[in-house]
Each structure stands twice: as structure tokens, then as C-alpha cells.
Amino acid sequence: MTKEVDAQGYNILRKHCLVTFCFEGFTRDPWAISRTELVNFNELNELSSAWVVKQETGYELMLEGATGIEGQIVCKEMSVRIEPYFPPQPGAPS
């Protein structure tokens, strides 16, 4: 968010992006149980942080929740796509 406002008095948003994670080959522990765990999923799901850890057998995406979802996704292959995103402004025609 910036200190700039538009003609209707709403703050102008900058530097927003849409991040898409793609996962392949979910890994399992020695007892064939998936090591992926997501908890507290709800309608809000705000993250305070997310980071990727390189493991011997792949990757682990760690999700630290501010409100809602948190956990980890463990997989053999992971790709990340980042695209500019401009959220709709309040009062703007849809």
C-alpha cells in the first residue's frame, strides 16, 4: 500500500503479485504416510511467511499462518510462477 490515493480516496496499491506453486511427486515417510500437512484451513487463510527448504529427496514448502492455514507441503519437484496482480479497487466496475 502507498500513501497515494485515487480520485475516490482509496489507497493505491502497488507491488502486488500472484504466486502460483506447482507440486509433483508428493513424498511419503517410511510407513507410506504423506508428509504433507495443512491445518486450520478456513475462509481467511492469511500467511505471515512462506519459505522453501531443499531436502535430500525434494522440496518442502513451509507455511506459517497469521490467520488460518499453516503447515508444510513436501514433494519431489516444485515450480513457482510469479505474475503481476492488480486487485480490484473498491467501487470499480467489475
Sequence spans of domains, the chain: 24-80
Average pLDDT rounded to a whole number, residues 70-90: 87
Q: Where are the beta strands (DSSP E) in 1-94?
A: 17-26, 37-39, 46-55, 58-67, 70-84
pLDDT in tens, 57-75: 899 999 999 999 999 999 9
What confidence tens digit (pLDDT) does each residue in 38-61 have?
999 899 889 999 999 998 889 999
Let me know: does 58 contact 36? Beta carbons within 8 Å.
no
Query: What is the pLDDT of the chain when averaged over all its residues?
Result: 86
pTM, two decimal places = 0.71
